[in-house]
């Protein structure tokens, strides 16, 4: 896919349920309704690869769709009982996949707290980058994430952008040291 193409600021980007027109839609069953009165104010950046450290295969998608073959890799047994999702997944190539409409609550943050508010899934959008805590991310991923961030900020009152490690310290470490916050912030 390469670097993301800038969009017109007047273009309708999301439908009335929060699906991004330009993203590949692969609906996950792992979501539910946001609580009433919980506007999206937080963007959470994650990293994921399945099996750990391997990129490009179908395992992350299968995991978010509850169809992961647990016999395919020893690590998959450790995550057998998890039902998780994210709103978006950005592959190393920059390909953008949406699993959950933005107006719904994806199950990406788990036990989490931000600025005294618990249950960050209630008021956040989760974006998974294909990678590991210590891998660097591709230019295509940064370009796609920056464009997506701008689109999300136009559609939602997002005040804060954090890593998973910021809302679940001691429990989560992603997106990790390989994520260049300075580069990302300069792009948005």
Active site residues: 128
Grouping H, G, I as helix, E, B as strand and the rest as coil, residue 115 is coil
Tokens of 104: 């719904």
Distance CA 107, CA 114 (A): 16
CA gyration radius, the chain: 15
Number of H helices, E strands in the chain: 4, 10
Q: Cβ–Cβ contacts within 10 Å for residue 153, how many?
A: 14
Q: Cβ–Cβ contacts within 10 Å for residue 131, how many?
A: 25
Grouping H, G, I as helix, E, B as strand and the rest as coil, residue 181 is helix
């Amino acid at each position: 896919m390469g670097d993301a193409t800038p969009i017109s600021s007047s273009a309708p980007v999301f439908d009335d349920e929060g699906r991004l027109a330009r993203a590949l839609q692969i609906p996950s069953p792992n979501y539910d309704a946001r609580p009433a009165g919980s506007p999206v104010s937080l963007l959470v950046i994650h990293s994921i690869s399945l099996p750990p450290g391997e990129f490009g295969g179908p395992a992350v998608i299968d995991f978010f769709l509850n169809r992961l073959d647990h016999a395919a890799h020893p690590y998959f047994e450790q995550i057998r009982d998890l039902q998780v999702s994210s709103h978006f997944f950005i592959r190393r190539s920059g390909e953008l996949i949406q699993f959950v409409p933005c107006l719904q609550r994806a199950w990406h943050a788990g036990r989490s707290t931000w600025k005294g508010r618990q249950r960050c899934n209630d008021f956040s959008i989760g974006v998974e980058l294909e990678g590991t805590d210590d891998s660097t991310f591709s230019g295509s991923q940064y370009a796609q994430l920056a464009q997506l961030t701008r689109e999300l900020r136009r559609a939602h009152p997002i005040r804060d952008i954090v890593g998973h490690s910021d809302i679940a310290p001691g429990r989560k470490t992603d997106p990790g040291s390989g994520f260049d916050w300075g580069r990302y912030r300069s792009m948005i």
